[in-house]
Amino acid sequence: MIKHLLSAADLDAQHATLVLDTAAELAAVSGREVKKLPTLRGRTVVNLFYEDSTRTRISFEAAAKRLSADVINFSAKGSSVSKGESLKDTALTLQAMGADAVVVRHPASGAPHRLASWVDGSVVNAGDGTHEHPTQALLDAYTMRSRLGRVAGLHVAIVGDVLHSRVARSNVLLLTTLGAKVTVVGPPTLIPVDVGPALSPDLRVSYDLDAVLPDVDVVMMLRVQRERMNDSFFPSTREYARRYGLDATRMRRLPEHAIVMHPGPMVRGMEITPEVADSARSTIVEQVANGVSVRMAVLYLLLGGK
């Protein structure tokens, strides 16, 4: 197994499948009355969060605790970090405390890569800037597999602010590794220049959501921040919602079996309407539950739990 999980591209098809298979085994534990496994007893996992993300932090914390690891939550707010301590000094502190794994969330793209060069333990990227969020991609693939039975051969549309989305980058990389067909959809202003050659030669780009929907098995809606309109990425939230939002009318264009995903947090009324988010096609709550199993699998495999 690899040492760090910094990018979804760190996983080849074999390793990615191993993570998903392991997650499925561990999910069975979550159904038991006693949810704990002794696997990582005595190991220390640090959650180093430079951004507020209760959802992701709690998911990693639950994952580590169910594997009996000691968990230290190191939040940038109210710590020495807010007093101006550098990432490197923080890394050396964690190193001295004997962290076996550091789970890091950071607003700067590439911060986990830097961290990995300064600590001996494993580094797990829990979202860095506008770069990647590999465990989100893993839990999304896991969710697709549990709902649709496979990932290879699926057609997945990723819709919205691809330019600023770490979820999109990791998903394109992982899904293409696993043999899915991926189309990114959004206004041209929110699709990165050269995104195809950058992420996957097979990646498709479309600016027309209605044209794409009848052909997909999965539609993954990305969060679109209202503030983006201030930088002229689109004229107004109303126009964005009209052209790229998923509402009930649009949802009816999907094939019968197709599912609707969202990494959260949702901006209801922007990229997704409440009736879509709460529909039977929606996997949004499942995604959260699957997150714990997938992160257990990642920590277990990276820390050589076997």
Rounded to an integer, what distance in angstroms lies between the CA atom of residue 132 and that of residue 99? 23
- Considering the complex, state which of residue 43 and residue 131 has its C-beta at the smaller distance from other proteins: 131
Per the annotation, does 105 bind a ligand? Answer: yes
- Considering the complex, state which of residue 110 and residue 264 has its C-beta at the smaller distance from other proteins: 110
Per the annotation, does 252 bind a ligand? Answer: no
Minimum distance from residue 57 beta carbon to other proteins (Å): 20
- Considering the complex, state which of residue 165 and residue 293 has its C-beta at the smaller distance from other proteins: 165
| Element spanning 122, H or E | strand 122-128
What count of other Cβ atoms lies within 10 Å of the Cβ of residue 284?
A: 19
Catalytic residue from among 133, 155, 181, 295: 133
- Considering the complex, state which of residue 121 and residue 127 has its C-beta at the smaller distance from other proteins: 127
Exposure string for 132-168, b = 16+ CB within 10 A, e = fewer: bbbbbbbbbbbbbbbbbeebeebbbbbbbbbbbbbbb
What count of other Cβ atoms lies within 10 Å of the Cβ of residue 304?
A: 12
Per the annotation, does 264 bind a ligand? Answer: yes
Catalytic residue from among 36, 55, 88, 238: 55
Which residues bind to other proteins, rule: CB under 8 A?
86-88, 106-111, 113-114, 128-132, 166, 169, 192-195, 197-199
Helix/strand/coil percent split, the chain, to 5: 45, 15, 40
Task: Identify whether 133 is a catalytic site residue.
Answer: yes
CA 210: distance to chain centroid? 25
Task: Identify whether 83 is a catalytic site residue.
Answer: yes
Per the annotation, does 223 bind a ligand? Answer: yes
Q: Which residues are annotated as a binding site for carbamoyl phosphate?
A: 55-56, 105, 133, 136, 264-265
Residues catalogued as catalytic? 55-56, 83, 105, 133
Q: Which residues are annotated as a binding site for L-aspartate?
A: 83, 166, 223
